[in-house]
A and B are shown apart, each in its own frame.
Chain A
């Protein structure tokens, strides 16, 4: 059966082990979590988890059912086929050397990347966008001498309920 990536927006009670329960409920049944983003909502006792996972429609249904069985899960929303906006964030540290400084400055300017912090030997760039934009930026950064990167999971928001 055809595998498709799905984006879930999950509201949960903000309890110490809620993430372990979610990871366990899926991992224990052999389902993989591809990306994950967790933070509190406007209510401190409720968190939102945005999770992406891939599977056939039967598997996706099982994942939804498994999530809904958990006592601390309030709701599970599949954003895959509804209008929603998606963002990821990437931070990259580049090494500055006499040989590459010019090229890096030029690339930052051309791509309108945001410089978070710069020192004599390094610069840190922040890039936000959807997955394609991030992947694209990463490909352009690669030849410039990446030392370290960190990338968030996907976050997503529905346009309307």
Chain B
């Protein structure tokens, strides 16, 4: 087949089973958009390129498939960078197509030219500048392969205008690319080591992370924990990889983790850490992190091993293969936990859970943000796909919504990108039009990509925004309260739009609740409307997220809010 570059692009997208593209046109991608016009490919026109990448990212996190977006050269590409860096930090598979000026003009400071492969080199898994049409098909195929294989990540493909207009012979059979994947080989010696550690352990603990979700290993991890009665805590990215309603679940650990999860970390004598990278928000001071534990670290990326925490037994491999290998090994060797010591350990954790449960002070006059999330959980029974913005809204969601399924909590963990939640929710809604999709937002974050309400309205993407509106950049204000003697330097956001009117101006339903007794009614109404809805909850202004480990301290040193510090 003799095809134009633009035709090859759409052909390969079809072969890669791409069913949706999030994008924004411009000069350098006019030819591609003309081809899209002639095709059946579903395209969502966002209102800002950052929104396109976050939407593709949300789609990828919810489906486990590669998210795809298309933006123009220059500012289109630079606008996408925050989205790309967000996906890179959380290892989300994306293919981002950027337009580029014709190859003859590259380096001339042409109109809307920028060196986007240079700019994104540190924040992509890999990137390509396609120099001629002959290498177009194999480069795109390779980009998809790199994005989804091994530790996933975003791959950028820069497409010069003349390359897309040129034509060449295209034969899908002949497209070849290198394979980078090194499949996991069973490691009986390491498994024997784990078995030995399990035999010796009196207080084992599983720490689950984003790698378990990305590696489709939630079922294996759940089986391991339940079969051998091992309590489980998780990182933010790990939420949903073990059922949040299971009695063995201790909630999130770390800076805003539960008291009992952090106490369990500090007292465990064996930690099975799966698909985690021991972020500083999780560990607190490294020296006091799991001081008594032998640490087994299962991760696909060798560069994660011994990066922050020195571990006793590293096992390199994808979480599913390693856990399957481990489960088989334990079964073959008839491993059984010592019931008595396990019960003592679990009882000890239950004491901590009783001593400091995850809670907040209810108020009959003012809406507590935690109450909104609790009510949302209660009336949906957890059957929803939740995205968040970044800050207090994100932490309260992690604490008070219980995630029973993997790929149901969608949040910018590593980079902490404000403005993520709304466009991500639209991407999720595109993937699952029949599921309930809710963005739990703050008034600061939502304003960073508020323009995407227009996208929601245009395509009737009936995602819901639950806005916890406290008129502050809440998390920064919390730090100012705790560490800067309440000098609220530029965190007061009282000067804000009327979000209900704003929603209506965009063609989105706007609802408001100002009193606790209006919360449930507002939520029920908002969720029942088959249109995008923004619900503005006027919540107590100076609520803090507790528990909180102060930065630079041990995770057992937790501020518990109205309670006293507990050591």
Which residues of the partner chain A approach B306 to less than 8 Å between Cβ atoms? 58, 61
Which residues of the partner chain A approach B180 to less than 8 Å between Cβ atoms? 71
* Interchain CA distance A70-B126 in the complex, whole Å: 8
| B301 close to A62 (CB less than 8 A) | no
Question: Which residues of B69-92 are within 8 A (CB) of A?
Answer: none
- Once A17-B117, A71-B146 are accepted as A-B contacts, the answer to whether A66 and B122 lie under 8 Å apart by CB is no
Judge whether A152 is part of the interface by a CB distance below 8 angstroms: no
* Min distance, Cβ B524 to any Cβ of chain A, angstroms: 48
* Interchain CA distance A62-B126 in the complex, whole Å: 19
* Interchain CA distance A70-B180 in the complex, whole Å: 10
Which residues of the partner chain B approach A65 to less than 8 Å between Cβ atoms? 302-303, 305
Judge whether A69 is part of the interface by a CB distance below 8 angstroms: yes
| B303 close to A20 (CB less than 8 A) | no
* Min distance, Cβ B192 to any Cβ of chain A, angstroms: 25
A28's partner among B118, B122, B302 (CB-CB below 8 A) is B122
Judge whether B487 is part of the interface by a CB distance below 8 angstroms: no
| A20 close to B121 (CB less than 8 A) | yes
Judge whether A24 is part of the interface by a CB distance below 8 angstroms: yes
Question: Which residues of B118-151 are within 8 A (CB) of A?
Answer: 118, 121-122, 125-126, 129, 146
Residue-wise, chain B 295-329 has the 8 Å CB interface mask toward A (1 for contact) of 00000011101110000000000000000000000
* Interchain CA distance A17-B125 in the complex, whole Å: 14
Judge whether A87 is part of the interface by a CB distance below 8 angstroms: no
B122's partner among A24, A58, A61, A68 (CB-CB below 8 A) is A24
Nearest-CB residue, chain B, relative to A21: B121
The number of inter-chain residue pairs (CB within 8 angstroms) is: 30
- Once A61-B306, A62-B307, A71-B146 are accepted as A-B contacts, the answer to whether A20 and B118 lie under 8 Å apart by CB is yes
* Interchain CA distance A17-B306 in the complex, whole Å: 29
* Min distance, Cβ A25 to any Cβ of chain B, angstroms: 8
- Once A71-B126, A71-B146, A71-B180 are accepted as A-B contacts, the answer to whether A62 and B303 lie under 8 Å apart by CB is yes
Which residues of the partner chain B approach A66 to less than 8 Å between Cβ atoms? 303
Residue-wise, chain A 23-46 has the 8 Å CB interface mask toward B (1 for contact) of 011001000000000000000000
Nearest-CB residue, chain A, relative to B122: A28
* Min distance, Cβ B270 to any Cβ of chain A, angstroms: 24
Residue-wise, chain A 11-26 has the 8 Å CB interface mask toward B (1 for contact) of 0000011001100110
What count of chain B residues pass the 8 Å CB interface test? 15
* Interchain CA distance A93-B180 in the complex, whole Å: 47
Nearest-CB residue, chain A, relative to B126: A71
Which residues of the partner chain A approach B303 to less than 8 Å between Cβ atoms? 62, 65-66, 68-69
* Min distance, Cβ A16 to any Cβ of chain B, angstroms: 8
Nearest-CB residue, chain A, relative to B303: A65
Most B-side CB within 10 Å, residue of A17, A25, A62, A71: A71
* Min distance, Cβ B471 to any Cβ of chain A, angstroms: 38
* Min distance, Cβ A101 to any Cβ of chain B, angstroms: 47
Nearest-CB residue, chain B, relative to A74: B178
Residue-wise, chain A 86-119 has the 8 Å CB interface mask toward B (1 for contact) of 0000000000000000000000000000000000
Nearest-CB residue, chain A, relative to B121: A24
| B302 close to A68 (CB less than 8 A) | yes
* Interchain CA distance A21-B306 in the complex, whole Å: 23
* Interchain CA distance A66-B301 in the complex, whole Å: 10
Question: Which residues of B438-479 are within 8 A (CB) of A?
Answer: none
Most A-side CB within 10 Å, residue of B301, B303, B305: B303
B121's partner among A17, A58, A69 (CB-CB below 8 A) is A17
* Min distance, Cβ B318 to any Cβ of chain A, angstroms: 16
* Interchain CA distance A68-B305 in the complex, whole Å: 13
* Interchain CA distance A71-B122 in the complex, whole Å: 13
* Interchain CA distance A66-B305 in the complex, whole Å: 12
* Interchain CA distance A28-B302 in the complex, whole Å: 18
* Min distance, Cβ A26 to any Cβ of chain B, angstroms: 11
Nearest-CB residue, chain A, relative to B150: A69
Nearest-CB residue, chain B, relative to A67: B303
* Interchain CA distance A25-B126 in the complex, whole Å: 12
Nearest-CB residue, chain A, relative to B310: A58
* Min distance, Cβ A47 to any Cβ of chain B, angstroms: 16
Nearest-CB residue, chain B, relative to A63: B303
* Interchain CA distance A69-B302 in the complex, whole Å: 9
| A71 close to B125 (CB less than 8 A) | yes
* Interchain CA distance A69-B307 in the complex, whole Å: 14
Question: Which residues of B260-287 are within 8 A (CB) of A?
Answer: none
* Min distance, Cβ B414 to any Cβ of chain A, angstroms: 15
| A69 close to B301 (CB less than 8 A) | yes
Which residues of the partner chain A approach B121 to less than 8 Å between Cβ atoms? 17, 20-21, 24
Which residues of the partner chain B approach A17 to less than 8 Å between Cβ atoms? 117-118, 121, 129
Given contacts A28-B122, A65-B305, A68-B303, 9 further A-B contacts (CB under 8 A): A17-B117, A17-B118, A20-B121, A24-B121, A25-B122, A69-B303, A71-B125, A71-B126, A71-B180
Return 6 A-B CB contacts under 8 Å, by A number.
A16-B129, A17-B118, A17-B121, A62-B307, A65-B305, A71-B126
4 closest A-B pairs (Cβ-Cβ)? Answer: A65-B303, A71-B126, A28-B122, A65-B302
Chain B contact residues, CB within 8 Å of chain A: 117-118, 121-122, 125-126, 129, 146, 180, 301-303, 305-307
